[in-house]
Amino acid sequence: MQGRVAIVTGATRGLGAGFAQALGEAGASIAVAGRDREAADTVVSGLREQGIDCDFFATELTESSDIQKLLERTIDRFGRADVLVNNAGACIHAPALDVTAEDWQHVMDVNLNALWMCCQTIGRHFVQQKHGVIINIGSMSGIIVNRPQWQPAYNASKAAVHQLTRSLAAEWGQFGVRVNALAPGYIKTDMSPVDDPRYRQNWIEDAPLKRYGVVEELAPAVLFLASDASSFVTGSVLVADGGYTVF
């Protein structure tokens, strides 16, 4: 990834920070995009201490004008843009009959609409320059229905992300742009209570590996999809779930 520039959304914590770390360790410069400046300062400082060229760009991803500014500021700062990792996401646990219109719209705005606008805005730049890689962070929830918690909006949004990924790959392959998705299973982050005993049977014991994953195990998959190691891979949804979806 030496000499390449990756834009990572939702990179101020959790999975996004791990993805930025892996891409930076492989030589890429990183545009850290998100809303939490305090959290971003911690991430950026940690990356710079390792000699990784990076910068934070405060971005409201549900605003198309902000996404355009993100692209422009990335190019101004680093001189180019080669990779987009659409990682920002939101989830609301609620049975279908209890999901409010506001809850539904919030999840769709963050998980699908913002991702779509990032794909379209930055994808247009990739198409024009005749190269680029987009990695959309989907979920195994776009393939199965999680239990015991109900999360219909999240599940629907991630299924849409997977199909959008295939659609864009079909359109943009002729322009040298690859588009893939990564579908994680249960990964330990601040937002995922994988250690909660209430969820152990359904989340952990039901998986063939009988454990959750960690960010350090997932990040290399993003690096694979971003790099030339996957140069013949597009339109794919790479599932990394400890085998959860085989049952």
- Residues labelled as active-site residues: 154
* C-alpha to C-alpha distance for 211 and 94, rounded to whole angstroms: 25
SS3 string, the chain, reads CCCCEEEEECCCCHHHHHHHHHHHHCCCEEEEEECCHHHHHHHHHHHHHCCCCEEEEECCCCCHHHHHHHHHHHHHHHCCCCEEEECCCCCCCCCHHHCCHHHHHHHHHHHHHHHHHHHHHHHHHHHHHCCEEEEEECCHHHCCCCCCCCCHHHHHHHHHHHHHHHHHHHHHHHHCEEEEEEEECCEEECCECCCCHHHHHHHHHCCCCCCCEEHHHHHHHHHHHHCHHHCCCCCCEEEECCCHHHC
